Amino acid sequence: MTESLRIISVAPATMRVCAKDYNIPDSAIVIPKGSTIIIPIASMLNDPDYFPNPEIFDPERFMPENRSKLHQNAYIPFGQGPRMCIGKFKLFFTKQ
């Protein structure tokens, strides 16, 4: 199911409002407090820098022995953090 959600994203993007001025590491760019940030989830899930051969359905890329090869925050089909989709909580924390 994880690879299916990578291929067919539940949400193409999500938005957040910057809570405080944020300096992007290793750059001179500062995102001012109150700015709306758009996170392109579908683009990240299909980016070959994060998922080699993104056009190929490969469920093995999420097997336990391969997870260490994946970028820690690139797989976010349900969002991330305190405002993640309640579906993620239910999917991963309930007994089937």
Distance of alpha carbon 90 from alpha carbon 83, whole angstroms? 14
pLDDT higher than threshold 90 for residue 94: no
- Residue that the structure tokens 């959600």 belong to: 5
Using one digit for the tens of pLDDT, what is the confidence trace for 18-65? 999 999 999 999 999 999 999 898 999 999 999 999 999 999 998 989
Tell me the whole-structure pTM to 2 decimals: 0.71
Please provide the average confidence, as pLDDT, over all residues in the chain.
84
**What pLDDT is recorded for position 21?**
97
Per-domain boundaries in the chain: 2-93
Q: How far is CA 38 from CA 21, 32, 64, 85, in A?
A: 16, 14, 30, 16
Sign of CA dihedral 89, 51, 31, 26: positive
Name the token pair of 50. 């994060």
